[in-house]
Structure 1
Amino acid sequence: MKCAVPLNKSHQRAAFDCGDAALNHYLQTTARQHQDKGISRTYVLVDEAQPERILAYMTLTVCEVLVEQLPPEWVKKYPNRIPAAKLARLAVSKDCQRQGYGAYLLVEAMQKTLDVNEAMGLAGLFVDAKHAAARQYYLQFGFLAAPDQLENLFMPLKAIRASLGR
């Protein structure tokens, strides 16, 4: 059975390879430091039969977004600066790609966004799509893009609730 758990010392970070050097490097050298400092939280997808092997990972953090970075239909609904969750990184090991693990972690990110919203208040979930394929991946899940913001994608809380059936 697969499950997402917080990154810890027992996870085999050095063996992880998603095919993107920057994402590999972050997991291998920075993720635990940021977690220890309270900057972000990294969750790893593991199989309970081999809990030390990382199948995929995601990093979540909070951010403050200028309203101008939102799609036009949302600009009038918010003040100038809004708090939000940010999916800072999402990566799947090369040998596990195309098995739904990225989608699994994206749903986890959406659920965690709703959980934090209950305690503190957030406008939604943001993600920076680093390339066209990533942008298309997130758009299929209902993320919205501002016309002049190629990377910055947004999913408002209402859409998250609808996606999760809440």
Structure 2
Amino acid sequence: MSEKFVHIKELLDLETSKKVKARASFSSGKQSLDDYIQRYAKNGSKNQVGQTHLLIEEEPLKIIGYYTLSTLSVEKSLLAKFTSYPAPEISGMLMARLAIATSEQRKGHGKKLLVHALTKIQRISEDAAVKIVVVDALDQQAKDYYIQFGFIEFDNEPMKLFISIETVNSVLSQV
């Protein structure tokens, strides 16, 4: 199996050249995640709403999983941990989605995608202000998954989680 990470634009080129609709056949078991990759990721990238990165198998062309990144800022009053932060808002990255094809779940691909995303965010943080990474857990299972990597709950939103860039650096040094 030949796996590689690609941006949504590269996947679109591969779908055209191979005459395969990998997005149409993607199924993660979560309808909202399937709908996004099938219907919205292309325009999200084009319109700078979110950039989707995919782990694919090249032959035959198949999406193993994907995640989407966008920027955000969070009022520091929402996170007690940052009360002494020197600005009214905390800059960050939103990992808006992370999905794995049902046939590929429980094979370590979630960790691969998360580490890839955090590594990309860590690099961005060297050139731009990124203090936190935020995720909106779709369900309790997703929440528990993120917590094992050091994500913690927002003060008043239990399904919204964050991790500081310092913790990201620590997590990445251990994987």
Is the TM value for this pair above 0.5?
Answer: yes
The answer to whether structure 1 residue 102 and structure 2 residue 110 are counterparts is yes
- Residue 18 of structure 2: aligned partner: none
- Residue 23 of structure 1: aligned partner: 33
SS at the partner of 1:17?
coil
88, 99, 103: which one pairs with 1:91?
99
- Residue 121 of structure 1: aligned partner: 129
The answer to whether structure 1 residue 76 and structure 2 residue 84 are counterparts is yes
23, 44, 49: which one pairs with 2:54?
44
- Residue 42 of structure 2: aligned partner: 32
**1:18 and 1:93 in contact (8 A); partners too:** yes
Summarize deviations over 1:64-85 as a string: whole Å, max 9, x none. 1111332x22332352212101
Letter in 1 for 2:129: G
For 1:129 and 1:78, how far apart are their aligned partners in 2?
Answer: 28
**2:151 and 2:161 in contact (8 A); partners too:** yes
For 2:171 and 2:62, how far apart are their aligned partners in 1?
Answer: 29
Letter in 2 for 1:19: G
Summarize deviations over 1:113-147 as a string: whole Å, max 9, x none. 11111121111211011211111110001001134
Point out where structure 2 has 5 or more consecutive residues left out of the alignment: 16-21
Identity %: 28
For 2:83 and 2:111, how far apart are their aligned partners in 1?
Answer: 28
Pairwise CA RMSD: 1.6
- Residue 6 of structure 1: aligned partner: 7
For 1:152 and 1:68, how far apart are their aligned partners in 2?
Answer: 15
The answer to whether structure 1 residue 55 and structure 2 residue 56 are counterparts is no
SS at the partner of 1:91?
strand
**1:6 and 1:44 in contact (8 A); partners too:** yes
For 2:170 and 2:103, how far apart are their aligned partners in 1?
Answer: 32
Q: TM-score, normalised by structure 2?
A: 0.87
1:24–1:148 Cα change, 3 Å = same
Point out where structure 1 has 5 or more consecutive residues left out of the alignment: none
Summarize deviations over 1:18-37 as a string: whole Å, max 9, x none. 01111101100000111111
Letter in 1 for 2:150: G
Alignment length, in residue pairs?
164
SS at the partner of 2:126?
helix
133, 136, 139: which one pairs with 2:144?
136
